A and B are shown apart, each in its own frame.
Chain A
Amino acid sequence: MEVTTKSMPYEAWKDNEYIESLVAELKANGTNVVVGSFDKLINWGRSNSIWPLTFATSCCGIEFVSLGAARFDMARFGWEVARSSPRQADFIMVAGTIVHRMAPVLRRLYDQLAEPKYVIATGACAVSGGPFKKSYHVVMGVDKIIPVDVYLPGCPPRPEAMIYAIMQLSRKMKVERFFGGVNRKEKQQEFLESHPVEGVED
């Protein structure tokens, strides 16, 4: 199964092995014809209307603004509905450095997102702490506090790179089981249990 989007040929993607491993996982136990078809239909809808949370802490956020404007125009892909409330959003684009003071806040925002939810770690800071590796107040990568689906390097990543990252996320959505959601839920639960945050009710 070639998982791709309309605007990009399958060969042009950089990490098809990973997506193929997801496909294999998906097919491992066989698929119910009826549920499988519904899955496909729902995933088609979901993967073409990924709504981001308006969330930016620093430089990467400005490139995200550029992404929304006429030149890069993320409305072409159905991502332009940036929501200010996490309850209405599908994913957080963690655009910028996350520091100690922000960490519990980000975790709470993540918990407030409605299932199924996704995270893109945007830029060097969110991926690993980036240029602030030696800082006393920076979280060295958001994967220390929330599970990350797509890592997007760059400082800041260009809007084209952001498009590529969200398209990758869209591909990932296409190979999920919406009904049952085995792919995600267990992993997520596992992650949350190994990264407890007191004071936040999961």
Chain B
Amino acid sequence: MADIQERIAGQFPEATFDTSDVLTVEIPDAKLHALARFLRDELHFDYLMTIVGMDWVEKMGCIYYLQSTADHNRIAIKATTADRENPMLHSIADLWQIAVIYEREVFDFFGIVFIGNPDMRRLFLSIDWKGYPLRKDYDPSLNPVPTENERQSDFTNTYVEQADGKIVKEQARVFEEDDFVVNIGPQHPATHGVLRFRTAVDGETIKKIDVYMGYIHRGIEKICEGLTYPQTLHFMDRMDYFSAHNYHHGLCMTIEQAAGIEVSRRVQVIRVIMDELSRIASHCLFIGTFCMDLGATTMLFYTLRVREQILDIMDKTCGARMTFNYDTIGGVMQDLHPDFVKDVKALLAVLPANLKEYDKLFTGNVITRNRMEGVGYMSREDAVTWSVTGPSGRASGWACDIRKTNPYSIYQELDFEQVVMHEGDAMARFKVRMKEIEESAKIIAQLIDNIPDGEIQAKVSKVFKLPAGHWFRTVEGCRGAFGVYLESDGTVNPYRIKLVPPCLPAAAAVDHLTRGQKIADLITIGGSLDYIVPDIDR
């Protein structure tokens, strides 16, 4: 990384560096775009993980986390502006497709306008929302529960910089003037929750989709700022509720590393087993609901059989079927149930026969193949520029499994394959998940017989302070890379927690993947991406 720092310093003498966590390059706004381009093209940091909007009161700004898809190094860019009235930064939306959505999110929460972004609308909140909720001086009484239907607009804004440096606001149409637009959602059985697509169609062919989010935006990031660290944990269960253990693991790990808390080997093993059990349960439900979307309702009953078995195991140890709240800072909530090992072994014993059955019933079926093969093709470049990670990204040939690329916990010692396929279509996304169930079972089989003895909870006080600083950690959720950005100002509450969901890019990519496809395939494509709407909206 020292070499990278030198090269950046050589090219951008005005840059300053912060190496306390991920190497962070602070750069004036004028050079932001040039630096981003330099990092992407010259140094191969081609995966934009997230854009973290920040309000430091005296200034506002963004932190861009980038990762290299070749050597998995990370780097961050920090750009700030002191203007609170009209904060503006330059957009990097022309370098990464996903930046359009990420910048809209920052605009929605902080009111920072991105010059050059083609679509500067609000993302999660309604068009008439007053104020910017994640600013430190936001007043919630401005926005009572709406009593009117939301105002809709066919227009979006762009901010263009003219030759003399003046910024001009312009209006642009979302759809073309004579487009025929069909509304799908937010209450629709096949959108997997409350997601809404405004779909422009030409006959049966999709021309463009405008994705509306925010129908389940709960403002978790803002609530966390008023809570102590242990109190923030339970929200992780309620974002992607299938990855509850994985997300808990992610946030606990971030806080533990920030506070310098050591976690015993026993806890590590338990956490990994729970993560992998979640993955199996999650993929099982995916197979069931995806098949149901395609009309094969019966599959749900087959896959839920395995899921129920896993939920029973969880129920015995964690005391809940879904929102477990199991991982704590420095350990886990309670010790394993005496039946745990026996039950997990029973699960592993029946799993192969079940997978075979799914294959027999569904995968080879001629209708299935007709509906899935070649549908919703996503190339590796698309997956990277849209930041679609997880099984969907790996089905496009992008080896992006955080467990392999940036190993955490004890994953480095375990023997498992990263499932990568190259077809990039809905069928590949389905098959990757099927194979991942086998890999997860392999991981569990390695660990279940040698769960070491030890403490299940390190000594941690109920309320504690973190040293001032910032941390960014990722874990592999069931649907892709889940990131946690944590900034502390030295008090008992987090100054800012930014949660980076894997489902937001997947939903954002729907527009790109469905263009030119038939409207009937929208359900296949959306289903195969397997997004969870509360995870998108947070």
Binding site for B on A (CB under 8 A): 54-59, 61-63, 65-66, 68-71, 84, 86, 96-97, 99-105, 108-109, 131-132, 134-139, 144-145, 155-156, 158, 196-200
Q: Contacting B304 at CB < 8 Å: which of A55, A70, A84, A102?
A: A70
Asked if A59 contacts B323 (CB within 8 A), the reply is yes
Minimum C-beta distance from A162 to chain B (A): 12
Does B10 interact with chain A (Cβ within 8 Å)? no
22 cross-chain CB contacts under 8 A: A54-B187, A55-B187, A56-B193, A57-B194, A57-B534, A59-B237, A59-B323, A61-B193, A62-B242, A66-B321, A69-B304, A86-B187, A99-B217, A101-B124, A104-B149, A137-B219, A155-B323, A158-B321, A197-B148, A198-B147, A199-B148, A200-B149
What does the 1/0 interface line of B298-319 toward A look like (CB < 8 Å)?
0011001101100100000000
What does the 1/0 interface line of B440-477 toward A look like (CB < 8 Å)?
00000000000000000000000000000000000000
Q: Contacting A97 at CB < 8 Å: which of B150, B188, B216?
A: B216
Asked if A100 contacts B322 (CB within 8 A), the reply is no
Does B234 interact with chain A (Cβ within 8 Å)? yes
Q: Contacting A59 at CB < 8 Å: which of B146, B186, B189, B322?
A: B322
Asked if A136 contacts B301 (CB within 8 A), the reply is no
Minimum C-beta distance from A81 to chain B (A): 13
Does B289 interact with chain A (Cβ within 8 Å)? yes
Does B215 interact with chain A (Cβ within 8 Å)? yes
Stretch binding the partner chain, chosen from B60-68, B137-145, B401-409: B137-145
Asked if A57 contacts B145 (CB within 8 A), the reply is no
Asked if B218 contacts A135 (CB within 8 A), the reply is yes
Asked if A57 contacts B215 (CB within 8 A), the reply is yes
With A69-B300, A137-B219 as contacts: A101 and B321 at CB distance below 8 Å: no
User: How distant is the Cα of A145 from the Cα of B149 in the complex, in angstroms?
Assistant: 13
Minimum C-beta distance from B264 to chain A (A): 29
The range of chain B's interface size is 35 or more
User: How distant is the Cα of A87 from the Cα of B199 in the complex, in angstroms?
Assistant: 24
B188: chain A residues at CB < 8 Å are 84
B133: chain A residues at CB < 8 Å are 136-137
User: How distant is the Cα of A48 from the Cα of B128 in the complex, in angstroms?
Assistant: 44
B234: chain A residues at CB < 8 Å are 131
Asked if B193 contacts A199 (CB within 8 A), the reply is no
Does B214 interact with chain A (Cβ within 8 Å)? yes
Does B241 interact with chain A (Cβ within 8 Å)? yes
B150: chain A residues at CB < 8 Å are 101, 104
Minimum C-beta distance from B196 to chain A (A): 9
Minimum C-beta distance from B410 to chain A (A): 29
Asked if A135 contacts B219 (CB within 8 A), the reply is yes
Does B435 interact with chain A (Cβ within 8 Å)? no
A144: chain B residues at CB < 8 Å are 145
A135: chain B residues at CB < 8 Å are 218-220, 222-223
Minimum C-beta distance from A41 to chain B (A): 33
Does B516 interact with chain A (Cβ within 8 Å)? no
Asked if A57 contacts B216 (CB within 8 A), the reply is yes
